[in-house]
Amino acid sequence: MWSYISHCFLLLFLCNHVTNTRQIPFDTIVPPYFEGRFSNGPVWIEKLGVSNIKNYAYGGAATDNDFIQGYTASDTIPVPGVRQQIKIYFNQTNITTVNSMRTLHVIRAGGNDYYANKTISPSRVIASILNCVKDLFEIGVKHILI
């Protein structure tokens, strides 16, 4: 199984992604975390041994900005939600050239929705995540890890 994974592409759409501070504007002060991340060390995704990773994640993102707006950097900078990240991916990618059988799309989302709205119903957050999954399936994605 691991040899198969090492030849895959990994695309990330995440709401609270600790490895991606590069999406934050340059004039924003970022704490001195490990290699520019929101983490003090390597994270789980790096343990998969996949070298072909395309990261569409924005730290602080919610599942869908039409549902809840996500922010980063002390809640002052609006960022695209996971659903908007998927649209960015679709608009920036010639989807016909993506090997859908060898590409794993990863969604880790929902935590920032609860951070922004402490009283939100879990079923609404789950429905928002499922909308993201539906969007990926509609553009031809075959493998999704949630």
Instruction: List the chain domain ranges.
Output: 2-8+18-145
Reported as a pLDDT band with limits 50, 70 and 90, residue 3 is: very low
**Residue type (1 letter), 119:** T
Q: Give the per-residue pLDDT at 55.
A: 79
Q: pLDDT, tens digit, for every residue of 114-123? A: 989 999 999 9
Residue 123: partners with Cβ closer than 8 Å, 6 or more residues away: none
Q: What is the pTM of this model?
A: 0.76
Looking at the predicted structure, is the pLDDT value of residue 17 above 70? no
Reported as a pLDDT band with limits 50, 70 and 90, residue 58 is: confident
Q: Give the per-residue pLDDT at 67.
A: 93
